[in-house]
Amino acid sequence: MLNGAVSLLTNFSTQFHVLSADSIQSDLASARAITWTSWPPSNKKPTLPNASETAYVIWANRHKLEIGLPSDSQFEEKRNRSTNIRQEKFSLLEDVQDGHWYNILGEIVQIPNVSYGNRLTVYLSDYTPNTHFYNQAEPSNEPEEDEYGYSRTNPRHKASTWPGPYGKMSIQLTLWDDQADFVRGKEGKWVLMRNVQIKSSGGLLEGVLRNDPGKSEGTLLIDVMEKSGEPDPRYKEALRRKLEHTRRFQERANALKDETSSSGNKQKSDEENKKPNSKQRRKEKRAAVMQKPNLNENSK
């Protein structure tokens, strides 16, 4: 055990002996006949655990809750992480997949005003689209489809509260414990998060970041990106993507505004053309007077 974490240290001569928890006896006398499953080094016969080692196994089984042995779910998570080492590296959000761990870099675009104890919800974007993210629709007049996945679906957040980016460009993350405490109040910051677990929920991808069980309490898995000095090239590229996305969004917004303005002006012009001006009204008034019968002529 190192820093509160259970681990195995091995070398070329290490032997592994495994015993099912269900078959562990309650005392050493009855444990002498147990059958171990062994993996000795190559070309060597296994050396079975001696009495002292077997006695320790019996003691550890009795005190497993006290010595911090991982639960079944924790063990399963550690096993999955160990088989996905290649995926535990940097990735753009557009490439993340269910069931893997990644290092991701992005902007904290929103931290909803909802907190549950040691858990915090965060929305992160690196300005790359992923078809398995929730679609944050534009407030109004959005086109049916485009390269960022915009559509007329109802947004999860009210238009007045969602700051963007719109489309399928933001992932919902759940942060726990020290990671949650560190991020509180950092809305708008760019961060690098390590060992984020990606899961599928209702057909959408979400992320989870917990304390690393192999590290001491208080160890952070989040770095805040800085523009000073020599910025991380991945950070610089992400900023460039944000600027490009903002430029395209503004162009689209301006085009929609011009289209709306042009439509309004045309409607106003049509209404004005239908309404007679002062000269036309005077002409119509004179014509109406001329059409009235002459009562004096009729009286003769």
Classify the C-alpha dihedral 22-24-30-34 as positive or negative.
Answer: positive
Give the start-end residues of each E strand in the chain. Answer: 16-18, 37-39, 89-90, 101-110, 115-116, 119-125, 171-176, 190-201, 204-209, 222-224
CA 226 to chain centre: 21
pLDDT digits (tens, 9 = 90+) for 264-295: 566 666 566 666 677 777 777 777 767 666 55
Q: How many residues does the chain have?
A: 300
In a domain, 104, yes or no: yes
Q: Are residues 107 and 56 in the same domain?
A: no
- Give dist(CA 59, CA 37) in Å, integer: 19
pLDDT digits (tens, 9 = 90+) for 249-268: 889 878 877 777 766 566 66
Q: How many domains, the chain? A: 2
pLDDT digits (tens, 9 = 90+) for 154-205: 444 444 589 989 999 999 999 999 999 999 999 999 999 999 999 999 999 9
- Position 272 scores a pLDDT of 60
In a domain, 280, yes or no: no
Q: Are residues 55 and 89 in the same domain?
A: no
Give the range of the structural domain holding residue 20, as residue numbers without chain letter: 16-69
In a domain, 215, yes or no: yes
Greatest mean pLDDT among 61-65, 89-93, 142-146, 148-152 lies in: 89-93
For residue 297, give the 3-state DSSP assignment.
helix
DSSP line for 152-189 = SPPPSS-TTT--S--BS--EEEEEEHHHHHHHTT-TT-
Q: Are residues 63 and 131 in the same domain?
A: no
Structure pTM?
A: 0.55
Look at residues 216, 236, 256 and tell me which one is the last residue of a structural domain.
236
> Residues 202-223: what's their mean pLDDT?
89
